[in-house]
Amino acid sequence: MRILVALGGNAMTSPDGLARPEDQIAAVQRAARRIAEVIATGAEVVVTHGNGPQVGNLLVKNELAAPVVPPVPLDWCGAQTQGTLGFILLNALTEQSRRPVAALVSRTRVDPDDPGFAHPSKPVGRYLPGDEARVMINHGQVWQDRGDRGWRRVVASPEPVEVLDAPAVATLLAAGFVVIAGGGGGIPVVRDADGTLRGVEAVIDKDLNAALLGRAIGASVLVIASDVDAATVGWGTARARPLGTVGAAELRGYAADGHFAAGSMGPKVEAACRFVERGGDRAMICSLDRIAEAVAGRAGTVVTAKYER
């Protein structure tokens, strides 16, 4: 069995959201223990991960240094965090598992004509006073006035089109490696008319990219691990109901009715549906601590292409 495990950003920080180096290392070691349980079943495993807090830290450094040096572009921030988190995961999984592990800095191609580039709307980083935001605007960034909270940067969030380094992931899997790849949704790149690839300032949703990567490498199972036990309809109400096994069409119906927030559960549900609709056997949405149970069908929301109650 070939399994792709997508770790949420909460897996890379302490329970209270701190992202100091020691917090990140401890959180990754915890996640690695759960992934090692899946590896121990003999499955071929690929791990991808979020990088929001880590990129946020780099953006703060950009802002503080902006009066002196130009800010590092967002695709570079993605590459740097892939390297750092890949290194930490590499150490933790090597310690927890007997299988060889490889971390791959990988790229995701997006469409240069994606409407997100014309109308950037994905907020990133912290709020700044107007005078500090203007320094960043003068460096070519797009910022919006958010009223009393201050100004905040917005960037494009284009659809992932192709995981360019999926063949390398597949080769490493075939050689017996556990592979870490596609962190933060992949480094966003576009292909120009002459065939040249170049990085762009954008954020790709990590769960949507996980679904794309999973199908590109022939994974049969996608596990989306976060801080909740399952996808829930009626969240926050007296009628809240966690979903067990559900078909993609039914799940899309709940999404259309507004049950899943756009910035949290919404992308996870969309990714799970895409994965099974494009040939994957099962997609699970579960808590980090129950990854192995979810793979065995004993925890979380299990999404299949077709399911009738």
Output the tens digit of pLDDT for each of the chain's 309 residues: 999 999 987 677 777 777 788 988 998 999 999 999 999 999 999 999 999 989 999 999 999 999 999 999 999 999 999 999 999 999 999 999 989 999 999 999 999 999 999 999 999 999 999 999 999 999 999 999 999 999 999 999 999 999 999 999 999 999 999 999 999 999 999 999 999 999 999 999 999 999 999 999 999 999 999 888 999 999 888 889 999 999 999 999 999 999 998 878 999 999 999 999 999 999 999 998 899 999 988 999 999 998 655
* List 206, 209, 214, 280, catalytic entry: 206
268 belongs to the catalytic site: yes
Can you give the C-alpha Rg of the chain in angstroms?
A: 19
pTM of the model: 0.93
SS3 of 39, please? helix
Q: Which of 8, 10, 50, 214 is catalytic?
A: 10
User: Of 241, 270, 274, 242, whose CA–CA distance to 255 is shortest?
Assistant: 270
The pLDDT value recorded for residue 308 is 59
Q: Is 9 a catalytic residue?
A: yes
The one catalytic residue in 56, 122, 199, 266 is 122
Q: Is residue 232 helix, strand or coil?
A: strand
DSSP string, 164-209: TTHHHHHHHHHTT-EEE--GGG-EEEEE-TTS-EEE-SB---HHHH
Query: Annotated catalytic residue: which of 62, 86, 268, 300?
Result: 268
CATH code 3.40.1160.10 for 2-219: yes
Residues of the chain with CATH 3.40.1160.10: 2-219, 222-309
**Amino acid 271: pLDDT:** 97
CATH superfamily entry for domain 222-309: Acetylglutamate kinase-like (3.40.1160.10)
The predicted pLDDT at position 113 comes to 96
- Is 170:217 a contact under the CB 8 Å cutoff? yes
- Is 135 in contact with 67 (CB distance < 8 Å)? yes
Neighbours of 82 (CB within 10 A): 26
Taking the CA atoms of 58, 64, 68 and 70 in sequence, report the sign of the dihedral they define. positive
Distance CA 73, CA 59 (A): 9
What is the maximum alpha-carbon separation in the chain? 62
Cβ neighbours of 72 (radius 10 Å):
15
The residue type at 304: T
Active-site annotation holds for 263 = no
Which residues lie closer than 8 Å to 60 by C-beta, 6 or more apart?
A: 125, 126
Contacts of 293 (CB under 8 A, 6+ apart): 286, 299, 300
